[in-house]
Every structure is written in C-alpha cells, then in structure tokens.
Amino acid sequence: MQTIEFNHEWKMRLLNRFLAYVKIYSTSDPESETTPSTERQWDIAKYIFQELQDLGLADVSMDENGYIMAYVPSNIPENEPTVGFIAHYDTSPDFKGEHVNPQIWDDYNGGDLVLNAATGFTLSSEKFPSLKKYVGKTLITTDGTTLLGADDKAGVAEIVTAAEYLLAHPEIKHGRIAIGFTPDEEIGRGAHKFDVKKFGAEYAYTMDGSEVGELEYENFNAAGAVVKINGLSVHPGYAFGQMKNAGLLAVEFAQMLPANETPATTKGFEGFYHLMEIKGDVSEAKLQYIIRDHDADKFENRKKFINEKVAEFNAKHGENTAEIEIKEQYRNMKQQFEGKMHIVEIAEQAMKDANIEPKIKAIRGGTDGAQLSYMGLPCPNIFAGGENFHGPYEFVALESMEKAVKVIVNIAKAKK
C-alpha cells in the first residue's frame, strides 16, 4: 500500500493552520441559549468557511447556526458511500481562551518547559509523565495564561489539511468525503442542530480524542434520578412519635445505594450511581443522582434497583415518604454499530497502515458522536492528538496532528 508523503511544506501548512485557529477567541458559554452560544464563535466560523472556499472544496456552506459543511468530490467511478469527518471549533469555558499565545518547542528534550518566564509557569515532565513520549518532537504549548484549544482546533486543522491534501493528490482514489464543523460541543450542544440529512454521509468520525491511537465507539448509557423525601415538621420539643425529619431520612436513603458503585470506586466498564447533590430540611429533602453503565441490561437493572430501594424505604417509613423521578439522558452509541462494525474496523486498519497502534477505549461519559449516532449518523471518535485539555497545561505535538491527517487520508481511500 502506498504510504503518504507528508513533507516539510505540508507539515508547515498544518502547523500554521492550527496556530491561526488557536489565536481566534471562540470560547462557548453554557448560560447562553443562542446557537452559537457566543457571538465570537462567528469569527472562527467565518474564517474556516472562507478558507474552505479558497481551498476549492465543493458545496461549502454555513447555516444560520454556524454549522459548516463542505465536500471533497469522489474521483472514482464506483458508488462508494460518503464518509464524513467532524470537529468542533469552540473551546471550553472551563478556562480562559482569549489571547492564546502558542509557544513552539522544536526537538523537545524531555525536560521541563518554562511556559512563562514572568510567572515561572512550567509544564513539568514529573507532573505529566506522558511528556516523555514526545522526546524529539515539536510541541505546541500555551504561555501558561490560557488554554491552548487543541481541543478541538487540532481536529479542525487535521480535517482541513487532509481535505487539501486529497485535492492536491488526485492519484489517491477515494469516494465522496464530507467534512463538518460545529459550534458549542464543549457545552454539550455540538450535535443539537447538526443537519444529518444535509451532511449526506453514511457514517462519520469525530476527530476529537486525545492521544495518538485513541478510537472510541462506546460511551455510557445515562439517566438522571431525583429522589424527593417528604418529611413532617413538628416543634422539636413536642415531636415525640410525630416528626419525620426529611434531612435525616435523605441521609438514610443515600446509604441504601452500594458504596462501591460510585465514580470514585469504579473504572473501565464498571457503572455507578453518583449522588450529585443532596439538600433539604425537616420538611423536605432532595437527592439528585446520575446513573451510568455501558451495558444496556445492567443499566436497566440499575434503574430497577433504585426504584426497588424507594419501595423498600416507603415500606419502612410510610407510603409516599420518598418519590422518585428517572429521566433518560443519552445512550451508548455501541448499540448503533450492531451489524456495522466495519465502520470501526476501517478506522483501526487506517491507523495500522499509518504505523499507529489503535487503542480502543470506552468513554466514561457522552460525546457528540453518541448523539449523532442516535440521529442516524454512526460516528466513532478518533484521536486529535492533544493532551491535558481545558487548562493551561494543554499541549499537542505537530507529529501527532500529522498522524491524524494520515489516518483521515487512509480512511478516505479505504475500500468501503
């Protein structure tokens, strides 16, 4: 199989594209109800939109919500399915994303990187042992005062560069490639207004993971549960045999759920009950839980279990002492890959062909890809290369982004 030549000129294109994106302020805002959630996201959306037009991509569009779509037309006569690649251009509201001043470290020596001479802010290899993997690479870091935004501008830069590469190399044969960029992923709304039908892909990949090799097609099944405890308030001096203290009862209820099935005591494929909030007084108390499990049956059993505990509790303390309301939140996208595992296998093979060892992991959370999968667009998640997301220690290696470009090109040219 022909390997992709990615010479110095292409590396510089990828690097400069990424640097241009991270300098554009595009933090999203969970308090806002508009799409995009912030006006400033239009700055980067318009920049990318113009760039895609200048590169000569086909059918470049940007809708009223800031969703950008474009295509690399097929260059083969066969009827191959359209395959999509998706990334988000907002950055996390968890940390400052304005005035990003990226630092470039060529030929990293494995030691500490003083990101900011004035403050002494340092990316230390002792604190972040994963840095050792990057000896000899070109690292891009922050100046210690902002996040970097490799999450997910690395993904955007990789997809745009891969599209440019395919257009420049007509000898690489491929079907139609769809590319899509979204606002507001960091506030959980990246997929909300994504027009799956217009996108027209049979399946897609989000380029939004971390380390090289990451490939994810499983996430949690998720529900929220609110348990309300109804107490009875009586003057404490005259409460004998009468008072029902909802606050105390809430504490009792919390202890009826297994102590070894919480976020702090589980990992990998183990599910949990997570008490997010408990509040109350004598007359009323509320416990807010989230329930998570990768396995659909175990997830159903967890919901049944918490219902049974409420019944048990009421049998002891009186009818309607506790009331429960369970709300579904999202589902494991794995269920959408039944009979379609070739979508995952194509990505695995594309990595192997680029000398990357695939690392298949289950996400302990949700993703935009999971939402898209339930909207009819099966969508595993692939690494974008960055590490330490959402804070001042965020960094990415140019070589990791280059590997992601190669994976995209390999997927594009794979026989479907």
Query: With respect to Zn ion, which residue has the nearer C-beta, 184 or 208?
Result: 208
Nearest approach, Cβ of residue 367 and Zn ion (Å):
8
Binding characters for Zn ion, 50-79, by CB under 5 A (x = yes): ------------------------------
Member of 29, 51, 80, 152 binding Zn ion (CB under 5 A): 152
How many CB atoms sit inside 10 A of residue 127's CB? 11
Q: What amino acid is encoded at 396 in this protein? A: V
DSSP 8-state assignment for residue 76: S
In contact, 206 and 384? CB cutoff 8 Å: no
Query: With respect to Zn ion, which residue has the nearer C-beta, 143 or 208?
Result: 208
Nearest approach, Cβ of residue 205 and Zn ion (Å):
13
Stretch that binds Zn ion, among 13-21, 144-152, 267-275, 308-316 (CB under 5 A): 144-152
Q: Is 294 annotated as a binding residue?
A: no
In contact, 409 and 165? CB cutoff 8 Å: yes
Distance CA 151, CA 207 (A): 9
Examine the residue annotation and report whether 90 is marked as an active-site residue of this protein.
yes
Nearest approach, Cβ of residue 208 and Zn ion (Å):
4
Residue nearest to Zn ion (CB): 152
Distance CA 409, CA 394 (A): 26
Between the CA of residue 369 and those of 7, 81, 207, what are the distances in Å?
32, 19, 10
Residue of 29, 51, 80, 90 marked catalytic: 90
Stretch that binds Zn ion, among 11-19, 150-158, 277-285, 288-296 (CB under 5 A): 150-158
Q: What amino acid is encoded at 21 in this protein? A: Y
By the rule CB under 5 A, 394 interacts with Zn ion: no
Nearest approach, Cβ of residue 383 and Zn ion (Å):
11
Query: With respect to Zn ion, which residue has the nearer C-beta, 228 or 364?
Result: 364
Full DSSP string of 92-137 = -TTS--SS---EEESS--SS-EEEETTTTEEE-TTT-GGGGGGTTS
Residue of 51, 80, 184, 185 marked catalytic: 185
Nearest approach, Cβ of residue 87 and Zn ion (Å):
8
Query: With respect to Zn ion, which residue has the nearer C-beta, 313 or 393?
Result: 393
In contact, 367 and 208? CB cutoff 8 Å: yes
Tell me the two tokens of residue 122: 């340092």
Total number of residues binding Zn ion (CB under 5 A)?
A: 3
Member of 151, 164, 214, 368 binding Zn ion (CB under 5 A): 151
Strand order of the β-sheet with 83-88 is: 58-62, 68-72, 177-182, 83-88, 203-209, 381-383, 214-218, 359-362
Nearest approach, Cβ of residue 45 and Zn ion (Å):
16
Nearest approach, Cβ of residue 34 and Zn ion (Å):
20
Q: Is 54 annotated as a binding residue?
A: no
Q: Is 88 annotated as a binding residue?
A: yes
Examine the residue annotation and report whether 300 is marked as an active-site residue of this protein.
no
Q: Is 174 annotated as a binding residue?
A: no
- Residues contacting 77, CB < 8 A, separation 6+: none
Round to the nearest angstrom and report the end-to-end CA distance of the chain.
Answer: 16
What is the torsional sign of CA 181, 375, 166, 55? negative
Query: With respect to Zn ion, which residue has the nearer C-beta, 166 or 404?
Result: 404
Query: With respect to Zn ion, which residue has the nearer C-beta, 144 or 149?
Result: 149
Q: Is 274 annotated as a binding residue?
A: no
- Residues contacting 224, CB < 8 A, separation 6+: 288, 289, 290, 291, 326, 327, 329
Residues 183-222, interacting with Zn ion (CB under 5 A): 208
Contact residues: Zn ion, CB under 5 A:
151-152, 208
Catalytic residues: 90, 185
Annotated binding site for Zn(2+): which residue ranges? 88, 151, 186, 208, 390
Annotated binding site: which residue ranges? 88, 151, 186, 208, 390
